[in-house]
């Protein structure tokens, strides 16, 4: 269907099969209002670049997310979780969203951008992201550049957060250029290898990749973990089964990479939370030529939008879509249509490069947290997801 969004006509795809075609077809490229706005934050990195640029950037980034490399990251991920959770006290009131942002930032700084200044950049990203994402969404819905340059409080907060982040990333790049990097992390690989043609990256290109990694590595993981802990507090039956699995498989010890395949219910819980509250709730593309999609003619240069949030809740594909049911991801229950409609990581050539990395981190984190702590809501007010990729949550721990 066609809708007006921020003064632009956009085509909204609300059927899984048609959405899948948009993501896999060469007729559609990264673009549209959401992607244009995202470039305000991360530039032309691997997340936001065109398909042509992606063919050069993707081979450079891919080795850092290979299964064998992620297995080496796993002990560092577990250490980060232990450091964050080790300071919790029974009866303490936690801002779970902020704690999960901090955890995700630590993991990125220990594994992907491991120079000393990388930690500061990751922490800056964790604190700046909510402000930046809110401001970007505001710019998307109200596309009047002059308004966003006025000295309004919201605009000043956005600009301060942007400047802090740019300075922190600049320090990271300078440290790597000076040869003070560890040499075996993602950023070292990107800077020494160059792009897919072997050309060294300039500082702007490196900046875009750093911001892409920080944004994806912090925001998506923190969102998934925060929503999962919220869901468990609301569903003691699911929580009980999770505890039983962790007690059986871990027997009180910290989780390890080898445990990931054994904690199948833990993975199902996370997948079901991704279905209900996908961190990326909207994907946008642009048609490179006129094409027919689901019986509608889509003109060249048209903006096309897919909402994983909506597709994941289609009752024609997912029975009782509002129900949290991790068992719907059992091999004998999941249907081809359900798999096709699941787009939490995108799809096609542009499917999330860090899917295995992110799921490894979240499985280890959830296993470590839930094997030690029970979290309960401090407020009975029902949470309502907002389209800004950031939702505050506070829980009691006991």
Q: How far apart are CA 182 and CA 180, in angstroms?
A: 7
Residue with tokens 């871990």: 250
pLDDT in tens, 3-35: 766 667 889 998 999 999 999 999 999 887 777
Phi-psi region of 47 (alpha: psi -120 to 50; beta: other; left: phi over 0): alpha
- Provide φ and ψ at 299, rounded to 5°: -70, 160
CB 26 within 8 A of CB 286: no
Q: How far apart are CA 101 and CA 389, in angstroms?
A: 12
3-class secondary-structure state, position 329: helix
Q: Which residue blocks in the chain are alpha helix, DSSP H?
A: 16-24, 33-42, 51-61, 67-85, 96-111, 116-141, 145-149, 153-177, 186-193, 203-215, 221-234, 236-250, 264-276, 308-311, 336-341, 355-370
Those residues whose C-beta lies under 8 Å from the C-beta of residue 117, and which sit 6 or more positions away, are 168, 171, 172, 175
Q: How far apart are CA 248 and CA 241, in angstroms?
A: 11
DSSP letter at 305 equals: E
Q: How far apart are CA 277 and CA 318, in angstroms?
A: 14
3-class secondary-structure state, position 332: coil
CB 100 within 8 A of CB 226: yes
- Which DSSP string do the residues of 201-240 spell out, in sequence order? P-HHHHHHHHHHHHHIIIIIHHHHHHHHHHHHHH-HHHHH
Those residues whose C-beta lies under 8 Å from the C-beta of residue 12, and which sit 6 or more positions away, are 1, 2, 3, 304, 305, 306, 307
pLDDT in tens, 208-265: 888 888 888 888 899 999 999 999 999 999 999 999 999 999 999 999 999 999 999 9
* DSSP bridge partners of 304: 11, 285
Residue with tokens 């949550």: 393
Instruction: State the pairing for strand pair 8-13/303-306.
Output: parallel
What dihedral angle (degrees, nearest 10) is formed by the CA atoms of 184, 185, 188, 192? 60
Q: How far apart are CA 15 and CA 246, in angstroms?
A: 37
144-162 CB burial, b ≥16 within 10 A, e <16: eeeebeeeeeebeebeebb
Q: Which residue blocks in 251-335 are alpha helix, DSSP H?
A: 264-276, 308-311
pLDDT at 398: 34
Q: How far apart are CA 151 and CA 171, in angstroms?
A: 28
pLDDT at 195: 64
Q: What is the pTM of this model?
A: 0.89
pLDDT at 239: 98
Q: What domains can you pick out in the chain, each with its CATH number?
A: 2-376 (1.10.630.10)
For the chain, which ranges sit under pLDDT 50? 389-395, 397-398
């Amino acid at each position: 269907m066609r809708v007006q969004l921020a003064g632009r006509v956009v085509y909204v795809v609300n059927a899984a099969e048609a959405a899948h075609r948009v993501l896999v077809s060469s007729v559609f490229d990264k673009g549209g209002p959401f992607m244009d706005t995202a470039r305000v934050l991360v530039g032309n990195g691997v997340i936001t670049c065109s398909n042509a640029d992606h063919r050069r950037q993707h081979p450079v980034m891919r080795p850092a997310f290979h299964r064998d490399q992620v297995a080496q990251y796993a002990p560092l991920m577990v250490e980060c979780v232990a450091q964050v959770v080790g300071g919790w006290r029974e009866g303490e009131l936690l801002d779970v969203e902020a704690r999960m942002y901090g955890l995700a930032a630590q993991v990125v700084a220990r594994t992907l951008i491991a120079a000393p200044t990388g930690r500061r950049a990751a922490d800056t990203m964790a604190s700046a992201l909510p402000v930046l994402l809110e401001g970007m969404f505001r710019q998307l819905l109200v596309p009047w550049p002059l308004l966003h340059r006025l000295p309004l409080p919201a605009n000043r907060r956005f600009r301060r957060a942007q400047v802090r982040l740019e300075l922190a990333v600049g320090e990271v790049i300078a440290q790597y250029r000076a040869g003070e990097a560890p040499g075996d992390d993602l950023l070292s690989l990107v800077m020494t290898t160059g792009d897919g043609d072997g050309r060294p990256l300039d500082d702007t290109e490196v900046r875009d990749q750093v911001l892409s990694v920080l944004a994806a590595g912090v925001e998506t993981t923190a969102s998934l973990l925060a929503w999962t802990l919220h869901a468990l507090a609301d569903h003691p039956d699911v929580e009980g089964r999770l505890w039983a699995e962790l007690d059986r498989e871990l027997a009180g010890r910290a989780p390890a990479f080898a445990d990931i395949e054994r904690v199948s219910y833990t993975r199902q819980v996370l997948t079901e939370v991704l279905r209900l509250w996908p961190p990326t709730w909207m994907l946008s593309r642009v048609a490179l030529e006129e094409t027919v999609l689901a019986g509608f003619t889509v003109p060249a240069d048209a903006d096309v939008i897919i909402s994983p949030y909506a597709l994941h809740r289609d009752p024609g594909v997912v029975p009782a879509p509002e129900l949290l049911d991790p068992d719907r991801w059992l091999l004998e229950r999941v249907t081809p249509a359900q798999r096709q409609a699941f787009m939490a990581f995108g799809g096609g050539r542009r499917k999330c490069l860090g899917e295995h990395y992110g799921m490894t981190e979240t499985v280890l984190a959830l296993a470590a947290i839930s094997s030690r702590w029970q979290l309960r809501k401090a407020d009975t007010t029902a949470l309502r997801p907002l389209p800004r990729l950031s939702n505050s949550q506070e829980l009691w721990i006991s």
